[in-house]
């Protein structure tokens, strides 16, 4: 019986490939070329820059959406004020046509609605400009994210195919990404 157990263990050890594992552990480890270390470092930095740009792009898109909602609300208020103005104007014109007295309060309310409509239209235009500026900021930051991601991709590919020139080419995308990120952040904070 002990011999059977010993034979089973030996058979399983061969199946597991323990010998191959031991041989691999005894092999000298491959030294990582210096350029691959730089790929790892630059890729890490680009990932951080990409995350920051993506975060602020999201903030800018949110602010643009809020400005769009406020623009729509202001435009709706302006339309309501204009409708009220036209209803009161029609009332005043009918009373004048019938030769009846126009209540001074109706005329004052009518003029107040006209003024209110004008103010809401201007407010709607302001929100439209704000939203447009925020979307432009979002677009610049989104382009920066894309350029950083391309550079990271090329760095990883360079390591796989062992072509440092491919990584160096990818680093050129960082220049464009940094420019778009800088422009976007300046626009976001001003």
Residue at 109 is within a domain: yes
Q: What pLDDT is stored for residue 25 in this prediction? A: 66
Q: What is the pTM of this model?
A: 0.69
Alpha-carbon span 84 to 90, nearest angstrom: 10
Residues of the domain holding 174: 34-189
Alpha-carbon span 66 to 86, nearest angstrom: 30
pLDDT tens for residues 24-78? 666 666 666 788 889 999 999 999 999 999 999 999 999 999 999 999 999 999 9
Residue at 93 is within a domain: yes
Q: Evaluate if residue 14 carries a pLDDT over 80.
A: no
Residue at 119 is within a domain: yes
Structure tokens at 51: 């995350």
Q: Of residues 13 and 103, which shows the higher confidence score?
A: 103
pLDDT tens for residues 128-168? 999 999 999 999 999 999 999 999 999 999 999 999 999 99
Residue at 39 is within a domain: yes
Residue at 46 is within a domain: yes
Structure tokens at 77: 């208020």
103: left (phi over 0), alpha (psi -120 to 50) or beta: beta
Residue at 2 is within a domain: no
Residue at 79 is within a domain: yes
Question: Domain tally for the chain?
Answer: 1
């Amino acid at each position: 019986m002990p011999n059977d157990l010993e034979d089973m263990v030996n058979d399983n050890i061969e199946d597991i490939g323990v010998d191959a594992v031991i041989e691999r552990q005894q092999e000298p480890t491959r030294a990582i070329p210096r350029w691959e270390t730089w790929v790892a470092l630059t890729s890490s930095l680009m990932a951080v820059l990409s995350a920051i740009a993506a975060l602020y792009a999201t903030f800018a898109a949110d602010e643009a959406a809020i400005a769009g909602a406020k623009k729509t609300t202001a435009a709706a208020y302006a339309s309501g004020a204009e409708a009220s103005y036209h209803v009161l104007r029609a009332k005043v014109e009918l009373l004048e046509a019938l030769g009846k007295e126009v209540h001074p309060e109706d005329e004052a309310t009518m003029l107040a609605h006209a003024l209110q409509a004008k103010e809401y239209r201007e407010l709607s235009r302001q929100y439209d400009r704000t939203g447009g500026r925020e979307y432009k900021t979002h677009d610049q930051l989104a382009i920066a994210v894309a350029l950083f991601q391309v550079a990271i991709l090329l760095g990883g590919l360079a390591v796989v195919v062992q072509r440092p020139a491919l990584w160096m080419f990818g680093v050129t995308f960082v220049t464009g990404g940094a420019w778009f990120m800088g422009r976007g952040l300046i626009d976001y904070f001003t």
